[in-house]
Amino acid sequence: NAGVTQTPKFQVLKTGQSMTLQCAQDMNHNSMYWYRQDPGMGLRLIYYSASEGTTDKGEVPNGYNVSRLNKREFSLRLESAAPSQTSVYFCASSGSRRQYTEAFFGQGTRLTVV
């Protein structure tokens, strides 16, 4: 039972490069999220998708785009990476037949922009 799988686990980018972080869940969840974790800032929501075909901005969306490819997959794209985007990125999913359920997290992607 894989849960939430993120790839890659580590990445180093040069300023201005682009990349896509991949996320897939196998729990048939409706909602998926992208968070970033920075020291002293906790987990901040970048984008979320409440259902297949919909996406919404979270607290810190600038510099990012997302795609909800299907119910399983939710990708995060950095079009032109900046050093301020150095962070640990977490994908999460939630939602079943019960309205209130916890979110399940992936293992994280540690991104460094130099």
Q: Is 106 in the site for other proteins (CB under 8 A)?
A: yes
Q: Nearer to other proteins by C-beta: 19 or 50?
A: 50
Q: Is 35 in the site for other proteins (CB under 8 A)?
A: yes
Q: Nearer to other proteins by C-beta: 13 or 91?
A: 91
Give the number of other CB atoms < 10 A from CB of residue 28. Answer: 11
Q: Nearer to other proteins by C-beta: 85 or 109?
A: 109
Q: Is 44 in the site for other proteins (CB under 8 A)?
A: yes
Q: Is 12 in the site for other proteins (CB under 8 A)?
A: no
Q: With H, G, I as helix, E, B as strand and everything else as coil, classify residue 84.
A: helix
Q: How far is the CB of 77 from other proteins (least distance, A)?
A: 20
CA distance 98 to 5: 23
Q: Nearer to other proteins by C-beta: 47 or 85?
A: 47
∠ CA 56-60-61 to the nearest 5 degrees? 50
Q: 69 CB contacts (<8 Å, ≥6 apart)?
A: 75
CA dihedral 89→47→73→9, nearest 10 degrees, is -10
Q: Given the rule CB under 8 A, which residues bind other proteins? A: 4, 31, 33, 35, 40-45, 48, 50, 58-59, 90, 92, 94-95, 99-108
